[in-house]
Amino acid sequence: MAKVYTLAVIGGGAAGLMGAVRASELLGGANVILLEAAPRVGKKLLATGNGRCNLTNQNMSSQHYHGDADRAAPILEAYPPKKIIAYFQHLGLLCREQSEGRIYPYSMQASTVLNILRARLHDFGGKEQCDFAVQTICRTPNGYSILSKGGMSVCARFILLCTGGMAQAGADSGYPLARQLRHSITPLKPALAPILVRDKKRVRTLKGVRARAAVSLWRGSKMLRQTEGEVQFTDGGLSGICVFELSREAASGDVISIDLVPDYSLSELYKITGGKLDGVLHKTLVQACPFERCKNFCFAVDRTEDFKHAQVTAGGVPLSQLDGSCGSRRSPGAWLCGEILNVDGDCGGYNLHWAWSSALCAVQAIREEAHK
């Protein structure tokens, strides 16, 4: 007779790894299996934070999230940064705080985080099964039967779906699985991505230039959002964290206004410089931007870069279809967490924090259900 696991975790990204580790610790590793479609787990985790893995952020608030942020708030409050940091320390990972509240592994290497999670999964006795691309999830009298594209099968009382999103060349295979669990998916779009502009010729002359600036996104006379930080001019558009944070709302025809000298008014700047910018801006910007435009250097939006260049997916399974522990209201015994849900965060560790916290919340509920 085939083994029936207590929990099968589908997806070996950040949420799936955290869920599998915690479940192995709470339920006993022999009762937990982690299923991953790729040859190894954690590939996208290695790329987070430019390879440094920004784990969380001390400045935690649901205001840093979009989509179903209000429904996500109780989970974020139940699992604040100090709890996430404490759990990682419990696993043996030392953390450090950098600028703007960002928390990183002390090694400043994403590989350290992945290694710790895999090591503890092994220590707790959990099983890791790679090259297992889930094709079908079926209800059974004992829970669920999970079938792979290669013909393999796994049975479990409970499932935790953590298949991620489409960002960074992620597959969309998780969304059909969510639909098999009778969930709908909100429209999906790239978020935290570079923005391409219409005036390719003008922006191309600035390729490689970086400037500290205040950046705002406009639709007609309405300002949609404003950010500050370093703008990077690319071959076809604009990049940098402050631009990424506009990408979720940006649409074709919107206008990005760049204030290249946010610390001074135009009149103050004129009094100091006499209307010259050669002592203020990069020489290439001086040539491209007239003095009177330095606080409103504008580009019309063409489009946001595609999913391959995005850090996260906006959209997913609505949280209204889940209970407060990320448990499915439509398929009892199933939980969903991480990027597959309609929650996406700003830059700065917020998306990884959502992965960790939603997984920990789900596993706590699974433990309680398993012991009934």
Do 130 and 223 have their domain in common?
Answer: no
Helices 350-370 and 81-91, packing angle to 10 deg: 70
Do 121 and 144 have their domain in common?
Answer: yes
**Predicted local confidence at residue 21, as pLDDT:** 99
In this model, does residue 6 exceed pLDDT 80?
Answer: yes
Q: What is the largest CA-CA distance in the chain?
A: 85
48 C-beta neighbours (distance < 10 Å), count: 23
**Which among 305, 320, 351 is the end of a domain?**
305
Do 220 and 317 have their domain in common?
Answer: no
Do 251 and 224 have their domain in common?
Answer: yes
Do 301 and 317 have their domain in common?
Answer: no
Do 139 and 206 have their domain in common?
Answer: no
Average pLDDT score over residue span 22-33? 96
Distances (CA, A) of 178 to 51, 129, 315, 316, 338: 30, 20, 13, 9, 13
pLDDT confidence bin for 174, thresholds 50/70/90: very high
Q: In Å, how far from its chain's centre is CA 54?
A: 11
**Which among 283, 305, 327 is the end of a domain?**
305
β-bridge mates for residue 104, sequence order: 96
In this model, does residue 14 exceed pLDDT 90?
Answer: yes
Spatial neighbors of 358 by CB under 8 A, at least 6 apart, are 15, 72, 75, 326, 337, 338, 341, 343
Distances (CA, A) of 108 to 51, 62, 84, 102: 8, 26, 17, 12
Do 183 and 207 have their domain in common?
Answer: no
pLDDT confidence bin for 372, thresholds 50/70/90: confident
Residue 168 · residue 49 · CB < 8 Å? no
Number of domains in the chain: 2
In this model, does residue 130 exceed pLDDT 90?
Answer: yes
**Predicted local confidence at residue 2, as pLDDT:** 77
Q: Domain of residue 277: give its range.
A: 194-305
Hunting for tokens 């946010």 — which residue is that? 262
In this model, does residue 1 exceed pLDDT 80?
Answer: no
**Which among 275, 305, 335 is the end of a domain?**
305
Q: What single-letter amino acid sits at 280?
A: V
**Predicted local confidence at residue 49, as pLDDT:** 84
- Write the CATH number for 250: 2.40.30
Residue 349 · residue 241 · CB < 8 Å? no
Per-residue pLDDT reduced to its tens digit, 303-351: 999 999 999 999 999 999 999 999 999 999 999 999 999 999 999 999 9
- Strands (DSSP E) along 98-168, which ranges? 102-105, 127-129, 134-140, 143-148, 153-161
Residue 177 · residue 304 · CB < 8 Å? no
Per-residue pLDDT reduced to its tens digit, 176-192: 999 999 999 999 999 99
Residue in 319, 365, 363, 327 with CA at minimum distance from that of residue 343: 319
- Write the CATH number for 116: 3.50.50.60
Do 227 and 143 have their domain in common?
Answer: no
| pTM score | 0.94
In this model, does residue 233 exceed pLDDT 70?
Answer: yes
Per-residue pLDDT reduced to its tens digit, 133-166: 999 999 999 899 999 999 999 999 999 999 999 9
Do 23 and 105 have their domain in common?
Answer: yes
Average pLDDT score over residue span 238-253? 96
Do 342 and 300 have their domain in common?
Answer: no
Do 152 and 183 have their domain in common?
Answer: yes
Per-residue pLDDT reduced to its tens digit, 248-285: 999 999 999 999 999 999 999 999 999 999 999 999 99
Do 43 and 176 have their domain in common?
Answer: yes
Average pLDDT score over the chain: 96
